[in-house]
Structure 1
Amino acid sequence: MPEPETGKPDAPAKPAHPHTATLKRLEQSSGSLAAQAIARMDETLPWYRAMPPENRSWIGLVAQAGIAAFTEWFRQPDAPQAISTDVFGTAPRELTRAITLRQTVEMVRTTIEVMESAIDEVAAPGDESVLREALLVYAREIAFATAQVYAQAAEARGAWDARLESLVVNAVLSGEADEGAVSRAAALGWNSPEHVCVVLGTAPDGDSELTVEAIRRAARHAKLQVLTGVLGDRLVVIAGGRNDPLAVAKSLIGPFAQGPVVAGPVVPDLLAATRSAQAAAAGLKACTAWQDAPRPVLADDLLPERAIASDPSAREQLVEEIYRPLEEAGAALLETLSVYLEQASSLEGAARMLFVHPNTVRYRLRRVTDVTGWSPSDVRSAFTLRIALILGRLADGDPQL
């Protein structure tokens, strides 16, 4: 008695491709089409001819991959396919830096034109319109894929550039700037301007990337080079290209949040920018002591507050730039300034204490202004001069101060 059949039924046969003849001819022609595309590029694209052989070979591989991807797409137009991976995955990531988006579009256009011109030869009789329509749809998809590749490359490059910029800004602010920081800055387009200063203030709430971009727009408008970043609640800008730190700060002040904005002194290069950054940071810390301080304000205009707040560089600067020059100019200037300040800025009172004519006091005070750059008749300058005198006397009594 025969045994019953227990085997599984045969799987249904895979349906044949509706355009088998065209697909076969397309597969056979892919190599020659790629060669024609490369020859057309060499003939019509000057930038392609000028490229090094290695890059030309990568572009040739991309063209071949594009034609192969079209063949596979024509075979299964409804199957999910990552065209960007199929076509551009054959080339290294560096190729997006070697050729521009415009050049890539020209390369894709040339390859599509070669394929379009060969439709009558490649398509089986009666399939010309089908193949032409498929090529038009594929051209649209490859255009989207090209845009995606360059968008991803730009995004990755932007993230890497932001990290480099943050490293440079942090190195300057922390006093660790070295030749490595200079190299990183150069990679970001910093071309070593002669005049550099650092501007510090409070960062606004919200997306720090938008704040950084706003600083860059302001810098472009002011024709300044900048390296910038948000560190904690501080917005830090290293600006180059102008020998006026107050003008620099005014041109960049828009994106800063409410509160003091302090500009450090101008220094010659990025390696010296730490000095400007430290002065600006000390000024920002001490600015609360001067409630009527302008916005923005120079770090050097905050020397007395910084000195009181134990900033050693401010103390040294007041002694070396005010007290010592007065000391060298003669005892009469120091004595006259001291008495004038003690007499509530009264010419007559100082003259009586010094047993001289008021005009003599007036002359000596003009000499103080010439020597130091600070006018004793101005209230703010008088305060700075008084602190400088105190620090100078302390330094004479204790050389360590």
Structure 2
Amino acid sequence: MTQTNSRRRGPTRHGLSARTLRELERATGRLASASVAAMEERLPWFGRMPADQRASVLLITQAGAAGFVDWLRDSKEALTLTTEAFRGAPQELSRWISLRQTVSLVRLAIEVFEEHLPEFAADEAERAALVEGILRYGREVAFAAANSYAAAAETRGAWDARLEALVVDGIVRGDAEEAVLSRATALGWDPAAAATVLVGNPPSDDPPKVVFEVRSRAARVGRPVLLSVQGSRLVVVVAGPTDAEGGHQKVLNGMAVAFGEGAVVAGPTVPSLAEAHLSAAEALSGLRAVVGWPAAPRPVRATDLLPERALAGDAEAERLLVEEVARPLEEAGPALLETVQTYLDTGGVLETCARTLFVHPNTVRYRLRKAAELTGRQAADPRDALVLRIALIVGRLARARGLW
């Protein structure tokens, strides 16, 4: 009686009888279990997953099998619900397995279904319809999984961008180290890696374009970076050494290309991300003062802008000039300090300086070499001469104020 009624209803739009669909519906659990068993047998990584995760895969596979029957009935509402269900399922799976692994699971489940479906067909026509149906349905599931992973990736990307902006903002403002380090670690940054902060103008008003440009340059130099666009200012934190002596200057040169027109200032390289706020403070100070040196290289180190920073009122620059230049010269003795000051006052003319000091020119040469060893500044170089002159002035002012 049931068989007669089923045949009277006629086949569905997929050419399947109601009886075939009912039998297929009753077998969905068995087909799902067979699929999971095949996964455990053929995919080594699947067998290593925890039991609860494998159970979740079984539930999702059962839902997929039931959705396949609804899809075969050609109900538009069932098709919509099935598609939405599969779009949501990979969101849970994405925490455990990659998109490539998910595609492997879907492919294997489709293969198992394709092997078992012919036994439910009443004739050759239904067999062909079932095989065609599972292939089309598998394609829909694969597309739904890909869309789900893409949406999850976009969500993670947007969250990572916000988290990255918080890290860079924390570095610039000198926030508590623990908060910055924990967020940076969540982004995959090695907190123990050396860090250098670069600041300048963004190359575009479009933030995604800026991010793409910076990431591209970072990939070329092979360094991880953190970046944030803060209004009209672009801040980039570069991991690893950047000293010229170690041949790493090309890293800064490469990253400078990612900035827009104008000066690019690099703070000092600090041992770890915990000290990155010191690099940021000096880089920002240099960016404010670099206008005083029109011929500054690009990028320019903040330590090369000490005279301009000191004139702009940067107390840290004044301290560095005293500690690195003025104090070593004074502690070396009055003769050395007097020689440097006289050489600068005579316009860098060696013979005039020697006559003024009543010494031989070779004595002046010797003392200038000694001063260069102590300070790293060559008095004969115009730029270094400016640094020496400003450092001596700052040193005298600091001593007058009782700061030294």
Q: State yes or no: 1:233 paired with 2:232.
A: yes
Q: Please report how far the alpha carbon of residue 82 of structure 1 lies from its aligned counterpart in structure 2 after TM superposition.
A: 4.6
User: What is the aligned partner in structure 2 of residue 6 from structure 1?
Assistant: none
Q: Match of 1:227, SS?
A: strand
The correspondence of residues 1-400 of structure 1 with structure 2, limited to 5 A, is 18=12, 19-79=17-77, 81-87=80-86, 89-90=88-89, 93-125=91-123, 126-244=125-243, 246-400=249-403
1:291 is displaced (CA, Å) by: 0.7
What is the CA distance between 1:83 and its match in structure 2? 3.7
Judging changes above 3 Å, is the alpha-carbon distance between structure 1 residues 89 and 225 closer, same or farther for their aligned structure 2 residues?
Answer: closer
**TM-score (normalised: structure 2):** 0.91
> Which string of whole-angstrom CA distances, capped at 9 and with x for unpartnered residues, describes residues 35-90 of structure 1?
11111111111111011112111111111111111111112254451544323535
Q: Which whole-Å CA distance do the structure 2 matches of 1:217 and 1:348 have between them?
A: 54
Question: What SS does the aligned partner of 1:391 have?
Answer: helix
TM-superposed deviation, 1:305: 0.2
Query: Shift of the alpha carbon at 1:24?
Result: 0.7
TM-score, scaled to structure 1: 0.92
CA distance in 1, matches of 2:116, 2:144: 23
Gaps of 5+ in 1: 1-14
Residues 257, 22 of structure 1: alpha-carbon distance in 2 compared, 3 angstrom cutoff: same
SS at match of 2:237: strand
Q: Deviations over 1:191-244 (max 9, x none)?
A: 235422111110022322222222222222212121112111111111112242
Q: In the aligned structure 2, how far is the partner of 1:122 from the partner of 1:384?
A: 89
User: Contact conserved, 1:25 with 1:123, CA < 8 A, in 2?
Assistant: no
Superposed displacement of residue 177, structure 1: 4.8
- Give the structure with the larger helix fraction: 2
Answer yes or no: is the 8 Å Cα contact 2:340–2:368 preserved in 1: yes
Distance in 2 of aligned mates of 1:94 and 1:23: 30
Residues 97 and 205 (structure 1), Cα distance of their counterparts in 2 relative to 1, 3 Å cut: same
Give the Cα separation in 2 of the matches to 1:119 and 1:97: 32
Q: Taking structure 1 as reference, are residues 94 and 27 closer, same or farther at Cα in structure 2, changes over 3 Å only?
A: closer
Q: Could you tell me which residue of structure 2 aligns to residue 3 of structure 1?
A: none
1:79-105 superposed Cα distances (whole Å, 9 cap, x missing partner): 4515443235357x3420310111101
Unaligned residue ranges in structure 2 (runs of 5+)? 1-8
